[in-house]
Structure 1
């Protein structure tokens, strides 16, 4: 009997097959065609195949490429085009990762009895790199993988065309069957995908056992390992922001893992004395507080990167992550060969954490020192890009020069390291600030390709999608960001905001209850709770939440302004009009004035200031979906403003398609 899920998967395969040659066809287009949300698509494929959507689509593309290479005389560039790769180099890269042989070699080299190599999996044998380490647990022996032979049938020429089409379908079906069986077996595993916290880990702050002034080093080592693990798409890695809250905790591993919803914890201890380092790491299965694996490095700094790569690879194997050859090489890759430059970079990263003027400017000094020692240090360029961007974002120095420097340093980082997710993140934010929505979206997605477990990138992309009206996608990405960073207030605030834009009030209410428990001392949290009641037109309750925020931060102008707007909606316009009378009519205040007139539901003045703001990039956030501006929906003048801002087009809500407001 065919289940509804299998029927839906069959329809999904048909859609992918029809769009195979379209390189732009991806997850968003697939969701729109099928009329399902990203989260539902992700859940369907995880349950039925054990794969993420992007990887599943790629597997089907590669299966068809294999068939075309085997049964046609098409050039490799034409094969790449037929299966949706814009460049033959992309096909070659993924084909080699999947099958262990390049497309051209496949055509000329017979491998094995069936003429094709098996898909390569992570070797169960230890790395051959030699380090002065103590490994306290042997590698787990892996069971043999059964080999299924294929038989190639030669058909008469008149049947070749039909056979090729049929062969593509059969290959896809065979692949699906293998994935279904693999998914079934994974559910027998107590840490399989059906377990809420399966394949999940939190890298806790490493203990610094050296001098106090080497704390930055232990923090940086933890960050380096965290960054490596975050590259693994199918591994849930809790963000550093949430993990840092447990730096001096007395909670048990089980309690920490329960709060973060993970199965494993990684703890570490670092001692740095001069150029000598001792690093000990321990992987803990939190449920029973059992050490699964531990390792120690003791030696000079120069070999430290190799050891950290070994640690990341070992953890990946323990958590059943399949690593391609390219990913194994990436995990072993040293960011620089100059350890003095590395130390300067870590100091710069440490100074960036508090986002103060002094910290940001100080970080630039350290990043410059790192680049003097190693001009090809991509991470140091990305660090400079972040510093210049923060000078803008934090309102410390909003000069055009900082925008240009942020872009230049990000591009320099990408030139040196095409997989530098941090650099792509900065570029995406710069594009977003300029209203280049599609460029920003694409760049965020590239950043996620290289660091899929980065909570900040997922969160930032979700806010962009809310801005341009793709609310369903916004919720999908903020859901993941919240799972990766469950204790950072701003992540939850953004997620609730996305839910409110979609009208999912019940889900928002549940999360607000959790936020009230965790963030009651955070002033900005009450901006979110006030927004919930404002969206529901419960203005009196919204005012009460704003007052809670003001009690913590009495001088916050945004709270005072929102109180006046809320009162205006209650029929009490006096405060709003008083503010408008005294607020200077200058560029910096155009967005504020538009919001005040929106509170008064004064269409004429509100639209006038929105039009003024367009020319200077001073328009309110989330203009397209914000409840404050919903009274303008349907007005041709508002539609024209959205068009000029590049925000026209449908609003996509969860479970709906092409909802135009």
Structure 2
């Protein structure tokens, strides 16, 4: 057996055993493993990722593959039989996965095993020589694979490069401009189907939408979007018939490599969408798994009138305005009237309500979001839209662990969803702080949605990556990406805000930082986030009068709009007030902070409690909690950066263990930083 199947981690050995007990069951996946281990999906995902560096779905697949390799030693079973024994319903998909993992096919591997174990010895030292022969055969096999894959053998079908693809906005061939919603709907449905195929990397819709109506060349688009293939399309609806033309372009050569004209009845629209996705996948040699094939074949509704309303609703959501959301809701409700089991329509009703509520202090639509999300799940529990709708309910309800579970389920079905990666970036940045997960989803968000140069969404995506890099101590690299964020949207004040902190992190020049932050505050005088940051910078420099000036404005806005935000600042606010001789007022904020800290489930809880005990004068308890912080990992650079300058924590500095504890916290961070550097270099991010 291999070392992969016998890891040092007792936990990994346990779950490998569970997977092996269910190895022939092709349906045994992440949810089933979580149930067997009595863990939530999110906790299982995090623990497996931490111990193995793999996602759970990839880990399960590797257990299947390593067991399959062991089975090759049994010459009484065929490759097809082995595939089914380890839970692959498709021999071709099994062969693809096996080759990607080990560098040769199962059939080639079986030949090596037969050479190694089945031939009798014919002379002395035969065992040693057979090992040499087997090694030679393996090298030869790899060489043959290399020649087969990467040399031109004069055959009509060649092996294509990395399967990165973008679907450009389709053209409306109809003279009726109102038809555009239908053509856009076709484009998005085909794009969604392609995103369900894990063997290709598909650029998001918003990444290419800005090119609608432009006349840039394919090489120019390829350079901007960093893809090897483009899909172009045009179509129209004439009565009950659909006319659609699709072209596939090799971006490297600026050459059309495949095109097809489709003519179908309107009632065949879903089979048409699936057929186009299959044809494109075939042309670039992307493997579609049996499960993915089932997803492509799924029909969302039999009611074409309902589907038409649904497409109109989707078109209205693109306006990203309150009026657009109201019009979208109207059409989604009409779609539901036509088909009361239309899961995607229910999902988008929930999604619209979420966005109508998102910036409101008093949420109004929680019930509507939840009810419609549940109906969507009832009628199609695997539709990405249904899962996103439920995740958004948990986002609105601040149950972020549950939101993560549903977003992760979406990525199992649509791994190329930049939208979902952005949501997960938000969660791991703000609600469940985890720098490693934040970085991972920020990178994947860029890959799924790269090229959105005129889009606010793209600017936020680059902002996430910059922030993730800054949080892990890569300030130089963070500066590069925050500049991109500002290039794509100069009005993104959050990028300006982050840029100020990146400069501060490099120089620790508090005066320059305060000056830049106050200049931004002049532009946005009622921004509570900037106000509390201004108060914080003056707190670090012990200018408590100026600190209170900005904290007071922050508190006034927080109370006026009944905002439950920035509770961790209450300890600093109380400390500032106490240093201004207003101890009675300070107590209110100390109490508020204590309530927050006791209920804090994040990695920062112990440090928060240590800081609380510091202001109460209980140095021993403060240090006891602060020491626990040394057991944590994946905390942010800003904690390390400001650790020496924090007036509250410095109240513990008289304790003999204080300095060694501070150094340990810093050392742990930089060790994680070095590990992250290797990952980022491997990913090509730095």
TM-score above 0.5: yes
Aligned partners of 1:476, 1:392: CA distance in 2, in Å?
Answer: 28
Contact 1:565 1:600 in 2 (8 A): no
Where does 1:428-507 land on structure 2 (aligned, <5 Å)?
Answer: 428-466=391-429, 467-486=431-450, 487=452, 488-507=458-477
- Give CA deviations for 1:371-430 in whole Å, capped at 9, x if unaligned: 11112211111111211211221429721xx21221222222222222212222232233
> Does 583-592 or 260-269 show the bigger shift?
583-592
- Give CA deviations for 1:151-181 in whole Å, capped at 9, x if unaligned: 99xxxxxxxxxxxxxxxxxxxx9xx999989
Q: Which residue of 2 aligns with 1:304?
A: 269
- Asked whether 1:388 is paired with 2:356, we answer no
Aligned partners of 1:312, 1:235: CA distance in 2, in Å?
Answer: 11
- Give CA deviations for 1:95-137 in whole Å, capped at 9, x if unaligned: 252449xxxxxxxxxxxxxxxxx94779xxxxxxxxxxxxxxx
Instruction: Please list every run of 5 or more consecutive structure 1 residues that lacks an aligned counterpart in the other structure.
Output: 1-8, 42-51, 72-90, 101-117, 123-143, 153-172
Q: Which residue of 2 aligns with 1:81?
A: none
Q: CA RMSD in A?
A: 4.6
SS state at 2:285 partner: coil
SS state at 2:263 partner: strand
Distance 1:379 1:252, change over 3 A: same
Higher helix share: 2
Q: Which residue of 2 aligns with 1:635?
A: 611
SS state at 2:231 partner: strand
Distance 1:493 1:451, change over 3 A: same
Match of 2:497 among 527, 542, 550: 527
Distance 1:67 1:289, change over 3 A: closer
Q: Which residue of 2 aligns with 1:516?
A: 486
Distance 1:187 1:578, change over 3 A: farther
Contact 2:196 2:414 in 1 (8 A): yes
Q: Which residue of 2 aligns with 1:378?
A: 343
1:329 Cα shift? 3.1
1:335 Cα shift? 2.1
Distance 1:497 1:147, change over 3 A: closer
SS state at 1:97 partner: coil
Distance 1:637 1:533, change over 3 A: farther
Whichever of the two has the greater Rg, that structure is 2
SS state at 2:210 partner: helix
Aligned partners of 1:177, 1:368: CA distance in 2, in Å?
Answer: 62
Contact 2:235 2:245 in 1 (8 A): yes
- Asked whether 1:54 is paired with 2:54, we answer no
Query: Number of matched residues?
Result: 541
Aligned partners of 1:98, 1:364: CA distance in 2, in Å?
Answer: 42
Contact 2:526 2:557 in 1 (8 A): no
1:33 Cα shift? 2.7
Instruction: Please list every run of 5 or more consecutive structure 2 residues that lacks an aligned counterpart in the other structure.
Output: 19-32, 38-43, 75-82, 98-104, 115-134, 153-158, 453-457, 577-585, 615-620, 636-668, 675-686
Match of 2:381 among 402, 418, 430: 418
* TM-score (norm: length of structure 1): 0.69
1:472 Cα shift? 1.0
1:505 Cα shift? 1.6
Contact 1:205 1:222 in 2 (8 A): yes
Aligned partners of 1:181, 1:242: CA distance in 2, in Å?
Answer: 39
Match of 1:95 among 87, 90, 101: 87
Contact 2:235 2:244 in 1 (8 A): yes
- Give CA deviations for 1:456-497 in whole Å, capped at 9, x if unaligned: 112222332333232112211210111111231111112222
Aligned partners of 2:673, 2:85: CA distance in 1, in Å?
Answer: 36
Aligned partners of 2:204, 2:378: CA distance in 1, in Å?
Answer: 27
* TM-score (norm: length of structure 2): 0.67
Aligned partners of 1:371, 1:568: CA distance in 2, in Å?
Answer: 55
The structure showing larger relative contact order (alpha-carbon pairs under 8 Å, at least 6 residues apart) is: 1
